[in-house]
Amino acid sequence: MDFLLKASLEQQMPIEIMYLSERNVISRRTISVIRMDHQYIHAYCFTRKQKRTFKRGNILSAAKIKQRKGAQYA
């Protein structure tokens, strides 16, 4: 998972994560990592259309996006 997070940061590549909120709600997010540190991922969330901070420990999975024809995230 760290590999994909780093790739998103270095290549400005959107990825999809499954995230567990503080309220124990699982959501699917499309993000592009802006900055990373030991505990947090700072990213632009295409789902919420704003910058968000995600706790590393709450990211359940990360995956490359299979881009659909005509889909753009920038």
| Count of other CB atoms within 10 angstroms of residue 62 | 21
- CATH level 2 (architecture), domain 1-62: Roll (2.30)
pLDDT computed for residue 66 by the predictor: 80
pLDDT computed for residue 45 by the predictor: 97
Matching residue, tokens 């706790």: 55
Amino acid identity, position 34: I
* pLDDT band at residue 6 using 50, 70 and 90 as cut-offs: very high
pLDDT computed for residue 44 by the predictor: 98
pLDDT computed for residue 1 by the predictor: 86
Domain boundaries, the chain: 1-62
Partners of 23 in beta bridges: none
Q: What is the dihedral of CA 8, 15, 18, 42, to 10 degrees?
A: 40
Is residue 59 within 8 A of residue 1, CB to CB? The reply is yes
C-alpha 3: how far from chain center? 12
The per-residue pLDDT for range 8-52, each reduced to its tens digit, is 999 999 999 999 999 999 999 999 999 999 999 999 999 999 999
